[in-house]
């Protein structure tokens, strides 16, 4: 089984929670459930970085092209809304 990326794990946490979360809240859920192994002295910083890299507001050249998250004015993050377009049905 392939190892999940941190962005995928964060997406799953936000989806399961159903409400916007801070980076610290996301980190607590990840570590509390053992969803990802961090090999860092600053794992919360790694979570913040992953949220920022995949955030719609980040248009920096080193940002990911895959935008999974949206940052709210209060600093919390939520999943980017996926708009499903209904295709016309044949009569």
- The tens digit of pLDDT for each residue in 15-38 reads 999 999 999 999 999 999 999 999
Structure confidence at residue 63 (pLDDT): 74
Q: Distance between CA 52 and CA 6 in Å, rounded?
A: 12
- Which alpha helices (H) appear in the chain, and where do they start and end? 6-17, 23-33, 43-53
Kindly report, residue by residue over 24-79, the tens digit of the pLDDT.
Answer: 999 999 999 999 999 999 999 999 999 999 888 777 777 777 888 999 999 999 99
91, pLDDT greater than 50 = no
- The pLDDT of residue 87: 46
pLDDT of amino acid 62: 74
Contacts 24+ apart (CB under 8 A), 78-83: 78/14, 78/19, 78/20, 78/21, 79/11, 79/14, 79/15, 80/56
Instruction: Fill in the DSSP letter of residue 40.
Output: S
């Amino acid at each position: 089984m392939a190892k999940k990326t941190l962005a995928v794990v964060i997406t799953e946490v936000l989806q399961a929670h159903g409400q916007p979360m801070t980076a610290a809240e996301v980190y607590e859920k990840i570590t509390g459930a053992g969803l990802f192994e961090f090999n860092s002295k600053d794992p919360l910083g790694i979570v913040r970085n992953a949220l920022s890299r995949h955030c719609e507001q980040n248009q920096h050249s080193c940002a990911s092209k895959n935008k999974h998250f949206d940052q709210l004015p209060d600093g919390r993050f939520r999943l980017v809304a996926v708009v499903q377009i209904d295709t016309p049905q044949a009569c």
